[in-house]
Amino acid sequence: MPAPATTATAQAAGRKPRDDEIDAFGLTHPGKVRQDNQDHFLICSLRKQVVVHQSSLPDESRTAAGSERLAFLAMVADGVGGGAAGEEASRLAVEAITDYVSHSMRAYYAAEAASDEEFSQALEAAALGCHQKLLQRGDETPDAHGMATTLTLWLGVWPRAWLLQVGDSRCYLLRNGELAQISRDQTMAQELFDLGVFTRHDISTTPLRNVLSSAIGGSQTAPVVTRMTQEWGNVGLLCSDGLTKHVPDSRIRERLLAMTSARQVCEALVQDALDAGGTDNITVLVGRSVQRPGG
């Protein structure tokens, strides 16, 4: 027989987190070697809001009870290209995908099984739309030619979540104390490993580990969408390769297990990457849901 407290917790775990129960933070740093930062990130929510224009009702607040969160978005883009082109590529990608998701995608919060496939396809289409936009920009501006970017987007529509992956920025999930890499690196090294040409050791040493096999604006773009289910207690992490070049998974896990807040763990991880060399731009986003009383 479960104790009443346990039952209450179990029931609470099934509900959508309130706004004040979301603990999310993001941080980006140019690192210790590069002069500019070509990474970009964005954390935002899509909200539905009732606006009362005019009424005879004495207490309008009962009808317009604030705004409701429909979806939560977190994304990282790591730009590639000479001069300012890399920064422009990641910026354009972040802006374009957010614009697309917020305006063009229908049904994005209708949590019905039937629309899941449709939804994944829409996200893939959104990534290809961004890709076209970057190619167009590259054609118009000689300086911007060849600019490209990674894009890792986490989109939560409680209780589901979707991950859109292009390139080698990463998404990790800490669940029941275990850290799992949810995204698959779209690099030449990973492709060759998958084909059985490379060993696990080769991946970490070959120069091909830094060559993207798929990128927004690149010669190839192969967006992959993965569907997940959200759970209370999970901690999500998005990062550019500036973190994972220097900080092993075991250290990331340790940091997430010991975290006191999303902000604290982002700061600690960026510091870890800097301490280990900081050879690239570093971006880290961490998010989790923390149950609070009330509501």
Partner 1 sequence: MASSEGPAVAGSIERKPTDDEIDVFGLTHPGKVRKTNQDHFLLASVHKRVVVHLTSLTDVAHLPFGEERLAFFAVVADGVGGGDYGEEASRIALEAVMQYVTRSMQCYYQSDAREGEFIDSLQTAAMQSHAIVRERAEGYPGARSMATTLTLWMGVWPWIYLLQVGDSRYYIYRDGKLSQMTRDQTMAQALLDQGVFSHSEDFQKKWGHVLASAIGGPQTAPVVTRIASDWRNVHLMCSDGLTKHVPDERIAQRLGEMTSAKQACEALVQDALDGGGTDNITVIVGRSVPKGGAPAASP
Considering the complex, what minimum distance in angstroms separates the CB of residue 15 from partner 1?
14
Residue 154 and residue 130: Cα distance in Å, rounded? 16
Contact 122, 105 (CB under 8 A): yes
Considering the complex, what minimum distance in angstroms separates the CB of residue 69 from partner 1?
9
* Residue 68 vs 231, nearer CB to partner 1: 68
Considering the complex, what minimum distance in angstroms separates the CB of residue 213 from partner 1?
25
Tokens of 239: 């990062």
* Residue 215 vs 284, nearer CB to partner 1: 284
Contact 137, 48 (CB under 8 A): no
Residue 29: Cβ within 10 Å count = 21
* Residue 91 vs 253, nearer CB to partner 1: 91
Considering the complex, what minimum distance in angstroms separates the CB of residue 142 from partner 1?
24
Residue 282 and residue 273: Cα distance in Å, rounded? 7
Amino acid making up residue 101: V
Tokens of 99: 């614009």
Q: Is the peptide bond before 159 cis (omega within 30 degrees of 0)?
A: yes
Tokens of 88: 């422009």
DSSP state letter for 212: B
DSSP state letter for 79: E
Which residue ranges make up the site for partner 1 (CB under 8 A)? 24-26, 28, 37, 39-58, 62-65, 67-68, 70, 91, 94-95, 98-99, 102-103, 106-107, 109-112, 283
* Residue 206 vs 230, nearer CB to partner 1: 230
Name the burial class of residue 232, with classes exposed (0-12), middle (13-18) and buried (19+) by CB atoms within 10 angstroms of its CB. middle
* Residue 102 vs 120, nearer CB to partner 1: 102
* Residue 49 vs 176, nearer CB to partner 1: 49
* Residue 30 vs 224, nearer CB to partner 1: 30
104 beta partners: none
Amino acid making up residue 214: S
Considering the complex, what minimum distance in angstroms separates the CB of residue 247 from partner 1?
20
Considering the complex, what minimum distance in angstroms separates the CB of residue 63 from partner 1?
5
Question: 3-state class of 29 per DSSP?
Answer: strand
Which single residue is written with the structure tokens 């207690």?
233
Considering the complex, what minimum distance in angstroms separates the CB of residue 80 from partner 1?
16
Contact 82, 32 (CB under 8 A): no
Considering the complex, what minimum distance in angstroms separates the CB of residue 88 from partner 1?
12
Question: 3-state class of 274 per DSSP?
Answer: helix
* Residue 122 vs 189, nearer CB to partner 1: 122
